[in-house]
């Protein structure tokens, strides 16, 4: 999963070289960013399991847990889209 995240978060910049050829430069993400995204994904999975357990045992929907899951999904999506721009 770490290689996939690093590849997804790597920026690619195209610039012209000395002889007019285009060069593609890859800028790797920081290790803190990769760890933060990993943590957010892990928490999304854990909170999804909590929501399923809440529905299974109590028979009701927890809107608070769902709000946190939605926030984490939005944060991860924002990081992935923002890093590519």
Strand partners of residue 25: 13
d(CA 50, CA 68): 11
Q: How far apart are CA 68 and CA 46, in angstroms?
A: 11
pLDDT in tens, 8-62: 899 888 888 777 788 888 999 999 999 999 999 999 999 999 999 999 999 999 9
Q: Are the C-beta atoms of 75 and 67 separated by less than 8 Å?
A: no
Sign of the C-alpha dihedral computed for residues 71, 43, 26 and 3 taken in this order = negative
The pTM score is 0.79
- pLDDT of amino acid 14: 87
DSSP state of 28: P
């Amino acid at each position: 999963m770490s290689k996939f995240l690093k590849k997804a978060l790597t920026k690619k910049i195209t610039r012209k070289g000395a002889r007019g050829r285009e060069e593609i430069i890859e800028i790797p993400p920081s290790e803190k960013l990769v760890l933060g995204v990993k943590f957010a994904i892990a928490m999304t999975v854990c909170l999804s399991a909590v929501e399923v357990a809440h529905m299974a045992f109590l028979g009701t929907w927890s809107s608070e847990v769902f709000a946190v899951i939605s926030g984490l999904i939005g944060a991860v999506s924002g990081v992935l889209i923002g890093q590519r721009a």
